[in-house]
Structure 1
């Protein structure tokens, strides 16, 4: 469920109502500041300049002082994690040996809301003398920093959040948003995709989401690690489950919760789950239900995942369709394995109820 915004009417105590009302004003002030930023031609030129630096083997240096310095550190991390090599540069430390980190071909992103922060302006002067391309993000008209920049970006005139309207709040939110836009536009122009993202985010929740499904499979068809039988559609239900049990037993694992059913050409044509088996038996009818051919009782043309799918794709499919098993196929629609709900639970992408 999506988080709800503070609701002043939800609190009975007057002090709580005042607190929630102020929270709403702060959020509105910051949202207005972000909405008010207008990327224009200078923004597009800045993206091109940062891409050119990266293509020449350069690194993006991101610098600011105070709150802008903290925003600079976050933006540097965002650039680095989306394919633009970057590291933060402390403007004060720069004049005590830190400038030794600046190399020919590097570019700089400098932040100062006033545009006149002495340490940042001094750094800009030194970088400009060295021929380092400078992109700046400032407020208002940009001050000295904008004048020293090759590409001067502005968040415009921003009113800081109440009650004092003094602490850097709306301005830092807008600066961060504009910097994020730079990073993500650079990534898009570079063709930075999901697999690239996964290489840089191998750990944590993001890493789990971007893991290729083919790497997470416990039940696999073919190869040395095979433990899942691809059962022909003309086999009986009993023969299908016997084959599945034999494949799992040979590998020393439990049987998967579904049969993967293939046609004469080895391509996926259906699935038959343990739930399907229970329903078939409970329906009864004439004859032995286990003697029926799978082609007559399977789910045809089941939803499946291709070789390029990620665990995020799998989680979305399971949640949307409320299914527990998903076949995974290669580029020719031949099964390579079966993903089940427990794989997603193990990756902490769904709870044990499948939600």
Structure 2
């Protein structure tokens, strides 16, 4: 007979189990020399001349494969080798300037034995992430990272759940640590993530900004009627003011025009439109962006300042314009 359970409470119980495991892992890092091993491991990977080779079987293998992708995308060249395939020729992938990271919760995964023997024979440094400090794997690797014996979220304490989460968390934490040690920047991320959502977020605004004849620009001594015409023709709700040297000195928005007309409602339309110049209405300076500014950062600046558009400036000259609508349509959020 099926057991009646509350799905939500079951999920919350599993999450509490995961949280307990992570807290145990954090505590373990400060004792038994684990902290020193992790520091040495990070420096070893940072200074390696080759690649980080990851290997594991079963659930640990799935985690190792995912971590290889994470390391590679954050500046650490990494490659996953399945231990069964390694025993049938793929050991040749491992070079003497590589570092090997082996994952096994029990530390007794026999499929890893050929990889361990090969690395020992050719003096390839080995790291292990395991839950058994007394295991064969922990004893035969120079940099054993020992995770705590946390309870699995599985009610029978059998299905790898908390254990795989801890392996993943440790690997990701190492990848992020190396990212920081390398000074891996947002621009570096873009080099490795040119496609998809992340590619849009990390795209510099110079690659998508409106430019050339699309820019709404007038001279400072232009009459208000010319400003209104430029706003209407270009459709961005903003006009940039240029001085005689072509430098951007300020902006006028359609809101500025409305407020000006409201404050002069008692005058005739002709006198109101022709008596003032662009310079008398403009907001000096205004929000400006650099061409190399990342799209996500640009969107954040626009939203933070509660404006719908901003000019892109280089050497004080307006070279482009970006809008909130444009960035959202390009998938930046």
TM superposition score normalised by structure 2: 0.88
Residues in 2 aligned to 1:258 and 1:116: alpha-carbon distance in whole angstroms? 67
Residues in 2 aligned to 1:229 and 1:214: alpha-carbon distance in whole angstroms? 17
Residues in 2 aligned to 1:69 and 1:79: alpha-carbon distance in whole angstroms? 15
Name the counterpart of 1:328: 312
Which residue of the other structure, out of 141, 154, 164, is the alignment partner of 2:146? 154
Q: Is the 8 A contact 1:141 1:156 kept in 2?
A: no
Return 114-123 or 76-85, whichever deviates more.
114-123
Count matched residues.
Answer: 320
Return 226-235 or 316-325, whichever deviates more.
226-235
Q: Which runs of 5+ in 2 are unaligned?
A: 30-34
Distance 1:233 1:92, change over 3 A: same
Name the counterpart of 2:288: 304
Residues in 1 aligned to 2:169 and 2:184: alpha-carbon distance in whole angstroms? 19
Name the counterpart of 2:277: 293
| 1:205 to partner: Cα distance | 0.6
Name the counterpart of 1:342: 325
| 1:241 to partner: Cα distance | 4.8
Name the counterpart of 2:298: 314
Name the counterpart of 2:225: 238
Q: Which runs of 5+ in 1 are unaligned?
A: 1-13, 249-253, 351-355
Q: Is the 8 A contact 2:238 2:253 kept in 1?
A: yes
Distance 1:142 1:108, change over 3 A: farther
Name the counterpart of 1:9: none
Q: Is the 8 A contact 1:25 1:162 kept in 2?
A: no
Query: Residue deviations 1:27-53, cap 9 Å, x none?
Result: 111122223324412111111111121
Q: Is the 8 A contact 2:87 2:114 kept in 1?
A: no
Return 113-122 or 261-270, whichever deviates more.
261-270
Which residue of the other structure, out of 26, 37, 40, is the alignment partner of 1:42? 37
1:28 aligns with 2:11: no
Q: Is the 8 A contact 2:223 2:273 kept in 1?
A: no
| 1:237 to partner: Cα distance | 2.6
Which residue of the other structure, out of 67, 71, 74, is the alignment partner of 1:75? 67
Q: Is the 8 A contact 1:62 1:88 kept in 2?
A: yes
Residues in 2 aligned to 1:295 and 1:142: alpha-carbon distance in whole angstroms? 78
Q: CA RMSD in A?
A: 2.3
TM superposition score normalised by structure 1: 0.83
Distance 1:256 1:112, change over 3 A: same
Q: Is the partner of 2:207 in helix, strand or coil?
A: helix
Residues in 2 aligned to 1:71 and 1:110: alpha-carbon distance in whole angstroms? 11
